[in-house]
Chains A and B, each alone.
Chain A
Amino acid sequence: MTSLPTQPTAKKLGLVIDLDVCVGCHACVVNCKEWNTGGYGSALSDQDPYGADVSGAWLNRVHTFEVMPQGGEIVGEAGEARIVHFPKSCLHCEDAPCVTVCPTGASYKRAEDGIVLVDEDKCIGCGLCAWACPYGAREMDLAAGVMKKCTLCIDRIYNETMEEVDRQPACVRTCPANARHFGDFSDPQSAVSIMVMERGGMDLMPEQGTRPVNKYLPPRPRKSLAASAAASPLAEDTEGAKGFFAWLDGVLDRI
């Protein structure tokens, strides 16, 4: 059934991604592929896997952006530009356009927890849902001919055969920087809701009207280049040297 749930879903499960903390290591990308190629649905195939033109279906990808602050100083090529690593996977939108366009009923949003899934036995691989998603969160598996997308590791988060600590999406569990958090956004007391409130968590492309569940925490403000430069001592100036360095300064001057 590709009509969206008429009521708000009982839970709103999703991710918080902290753009201040992510170091762009791609561990979440690799662990996502590793888990999901053997988990829910068909394997995540690669085409020409060992060749020059390798490509394949991935459910989580890390882009890297450069942001130039307004009025930022341009030194050389970068200056005050900031590098922001930007992981992106399905945002499990509340008004998911990918779901309503699906002609077969393969795409659906679960009423109980809001997770957006593809029933691969129904999918005809028409690709329309990937066109409808403005975020590029759906990729066709060219070997199986069905649409793949993030399942929020539905086969982990409810999996009672796993230890409690592992009942998290693979990307969250593996992130070495703790940049990814999983939780229920319908509960205002949940850790993810509090994080979003305190750090001004934001929606991607709110103008597309999709109402994403996943939220992104913006990078914290940074000192300007000039302010940071004043704090670092200049190597040529030995004026204020004390103790061992004052002695070394003297000795080196004498020889």
Chain B
Amino acid sequence: MHPAPSIIVFTTLSGLGYGLAALLGLGVLDPSLVATKIAHVLALLLIAAGLASSTLHLGNPQRAWRALSQWRSSWLSREGVMAILTFVPLLWSAWAAVIESRYLMLPGLLGTLFAGITVYCTAMIYASLKSVQAWHTPLTPLCYLLFAASGGALLGLFFAASSGGPLLLLSVMAVVFTAAAWTAKLAWRRNMDAMAPLSTPESATGLGDIGKVRLFERPHMTENYLTREMGFRIARKHAGKLRQLSLLSGGVVPAVIALVLPIAGSDGGLIAALAMALAVAAHVLGMLAERWLFFAEARHAVMNYYGG
């Protein structure tokens, strides 16, 4: 599948934003601290930027409101509805924290729950497509949810480190969620590598009864919408390297920094904040690579008709 930058940026930023919002909803950061207030605003900005980016690839964005109507059948529609609903508790919580320096349990926990559901809906857009076999597994939403939790906890730890928040608790959360996310992701990759293709040129043409089927001529000489959108192929050697880089940058580096902070006896401060800023930056880079691979490595059934 073609790794469209707008969708990669959308899923990465909104995952991070919802992760941070979910963490703030648990009330582990002191709302009277400036850092926590900034965190609330940042979560909202990340989510809004992600959503704005997701409308960039639409052919007719002025009608985007119509996408809220088919929540009965469509995960994309459910995602849209949930994204808007989630803003209610998040804005409420943010108001309470930023203006009144208060943590409110009800909107807080609702925000955490809704953020999780929204991320789940995003993941299900992909996981529900049988035509893209690598995505069509419950591991897909599991990865999206855990990556959001990992990103949220890492950002939470950054804000705790810069303001003297509960370092140990957040460090444990960050390490546990990051490890869990990558465990799920490695299982996802093993699943993709091991799968026998559901559809083949033989089943796509129905000619398998006669023998082995090979594309002889494409319908036309140049690319078309389908081959551009779904015909993306990444060289295996590059995929292997990128996989390792994404794990290193998105998992190992931030987890190690998050682990070392409390062990080194840090109780916040400039050094700790800088270290965590580095951890978050590494995580975001790793996630961008991971999302890029999520698309680039996935093969669409239609390529059976295009010899790819």
Which residues does A use to contact B, with CB under 8 Å? 1-3, 19, 29, 53-58, 61-70, 72, 82-84, 86, 88, 97, 99-106, 122-128, 130-136, 139-142, 144-146, 202-209, 216, 218-219
Contact = CB atoms under 8 A, between A and B. Distances in A.
A126 B129 contact: no
Interface stretch (B17-25, B32-40, B70-78, B157-165): B70-78
B64 interface: yes
Interface centre among A97, A105, A106, A131 (most CB of B within 10 A): A131
A222 to B, nearest CB: 9
A88 B215 CA distance: 14
Contacts of B209: 218
A164 B73 CA distance: 39
Given A65-B214, A122-B63, A208-B130, A139 B203 contact: no
Interface string B65-85: 011111011111100100000
Interface stretch (B93-101, B217-225, B257-265, B267-275): B217-225
Given A61-B220, A101-B129, A136-B302, A126 B203 contact: no
A55 B223 contact: yes
Contact of B207 (A2, A84, A88, A209): A84
A113 B118 CA distance: 36
Given A65-B213, A126-B67, A204 B300 contact: no
Contact of A55 (B61, B225, B302): B225
Interface centre among A29, A56, A66 (most CB of B within 10 A): A66
B307 to A, nearest CB: 9
B3 to A, nearest CB: 13
B235 interface: no
Contact of A208 (B80, B199, B211, B222): B199
Interface in B207-256: 207, 209-220, 222-226, 229-230
A67 B212 contact: yes
Nearest to A57: B225
Interface in B288-308: 300-302, 304-306
A62 B213 CA distance: 16
11 contacts: A2-B74, A55-B225, A63-B218, A101-B74, A124-B61, A126-B67, A128-B74, A130-B229, A134-B302, A205-B203, A208-B301
A143 B217 CA distance: 27
Interface residues of B, number: 59
Contacts of B57: 126-127
A4 to B, nearest CB: 8
B212 to A, nearest CB: 5
Contacts of A144: 59
Interface centre among B74, B75, B214, B300 (most CB of A within 10 A): B74
A24 B77 CA distance: 40
For the complex of A and B, list the 7 residue pairs with the smallest distance between their C-beta atoms, beginning with the closest.
Answer: A125-B59, A145-B59, A136-B302, A61-B219, A103-B77, A103-B67, A134-B301
Contacts of B69: 103-105
Contact of B80 (A63, A70, A103, A146): A103
A218 B206 contact: yes
B41 interface: no
